[in-house]
Amino acid sequence: MQKKAARRQVTELAKPPNNPTHQPRNDGFRWNISTIGAALNLHRDTVRAKLRTAGIEPDGHVGNSPVYELSRAIPAIYGHEPRAPKR
């Protein structure tokens, strides 16, 4: 004898959490260390060390992860003076 699979009925669409990190950002690209490392083909420990050596502070946090604006982080990783972000 076959049993019918129970179906869950969804009455509402799932809403994203009321969290400011889910809102669009218009102030540039901000990535965490792992994402920067993956994009530049560098280990995240290398990225972290170079940012720390250059004195680059995080531009915010998404969850518990610090995020860095790419216009400041990438030049610092390659040893150039970071520029101020465009306004």
For the entire predicted model, the pTM comes to 0.62
Beta bridge partners of 66: 61
Both tokens of 11, joined, read 């009455």
Both tokens of 72, joined, read 């400041």
Q: Can you tell me the mean pLDDT for 15-40?
A: 69
Q: Can you tell me the mean pLDDT for 77-86?
A: 76
pLDDT at 68 over 80: yes
- Distance, in Å, from the CA atom of 42 to the CA atom of 26, rounded to the nearest integer, reads 27
Residue 20 sits at φ, ψ, to 5 deg, of -65, -20
Burial zone of 82 (CB within 10 Å; 0-12 exposed, 13-18 middle, 19+ buried): middle
